[in-house]
Structures are given as structure tokens and as C-alpha cells.
Structure 1
Amino acid sequence: MDKTQSRLRRARQTHIKISRLQIARLAVHRTNQHIYAQVFSPCGTKVVAGASTVESEARRQLDGKSGKGGNIAAAQLIGKRVAEKAKAAGIEFVAFDRSGFRYHGRVKALADAAREAGLKF
């Protein structure tokens, strides 16, 4: 079993539990260079809000900093942006889906920034 399969195996049970709860889901995906966050509707089929370090506006805000998309500062920015977009769409309560990644470093920074921006987990 390789690294990706192990992460997806860890994530599977979380996906099942959140789908039973029928509330919006804040899903996080990270790579070495970028971090992505999406808020899915309670039924789980529609993306209500999303933010990533690939977006041009986020790139402009991170311009001039080392490791533009793969650091904690970028994760905090994306957490704040996705929370603002979700609140604008009328979503205040979400379940945090770390997608099998450890709750540490960039994933934790994104979650904390989303909480500070007004999302309730």
C-alpha cells in the first residue's frame, strides 16, 4: 500500500461519518506547493465555496514571500478566504474533513484561520 492509498483509507471513515451527519463539509487537500480548501453542500454533491493558493488573487497576496503556496502563512490566508466565501453563501456550521492528512502544520493553520474568520466546526 503506497502513501496515497494509506491516506485515502484513513479518510474514508471520516467521509462516511460526515455524510451521515448531513451538514456542510470543509475539505482540505495539500500538496508540497499548494493547499486547497472546499466547502461542500450538506448533500455532498455541490461545492459551495472554495479557495486555494492557485487562485490569482491569493498568489498576489502571497507575492514576495518564500515558498508562496506551501507554508503556514499561505494556509492561514486560504482558511480565512474560504471562511469568508462560505459565510457569504450562508454556511456557518461545517464539519472539518482533513482528508487523511495529519492535523498538524498547514492543515491545523487552515482550520484555525477558518475558525477565527467565523466558521464553526
Structure 2
Amino acid sequence: MTAEPPDQEPDYRFTLANERTFLAWIRTALGLLAAGVAVRQFVPPFAVPGATTVLALACIILAAIVAASSFPRWRRAQQAMRTGAALPHSPMVAVLAAGVLFMALLAAVLVLLG
């Protein structure tokens, strides 16, 4: 059986950088949530029935995914720094990029349809 590496306090600069990254993910989630509410409340209906609701829900669902994954990501990075392990990879960068791309394409199609 292998022993776990000792838990060490990381350099405070790395801890603060990790915290700033966490807060950036939370700001992104809040921005997506605000966008979803704004789309639903202020965007006039598109030619496709229910399209405004779909676009708003896409923003809100992506906001929930980003918010729900931000704390576990922060915790994994913090633990890796404490044990001297490699920083974990997160699929959230790809998920966020794909989600925003999907919403942009959907909005473009809806605008083009009139």
C-alpha cells in the first residue's frame, strides 16, 4: 500500500489564483443566468414558436452546469496543490465553449429566420 503525500500549505499566491479562477467561473455562471432571464423577459418572440424560451433555458441550464462544477473544480485544484500532484484537467472549458457556440448558432439561425 502506498502512502499519500503529505498535506502542505501551498504558496498563498497559488491559493489566491485558484480562488480568482473559482470566482471567474461563478461570474460566468451569473452572466449566463442573467442572459437567460433577459432573453426570456426582453427579447421579442422569434418566428419559431417557443424559440425564445429554448434560448433562455439553454443559457440558464449552462449557468447551472458551470456553477455546479466550479466548487468541485476549485477543491480538486486546491488538493492537488497541497499534495504536490498534477493539476486536474476539467472538461468544463470545452463544455462552456460548446454551450456558448450552440447558443450563438441557435440565435443566429433564429435571427435569420426573421
Shared fold (TM-score greater than 0.5)?
no
Q: TM class, shorter-chain normalised?
A: under 0.3
- Relative to its length, the structure with more helix (as a share) is 2
- TM-score if structure 1 supplies the norm length? 0.26
Q: Which has the higher strand share?
A: 1
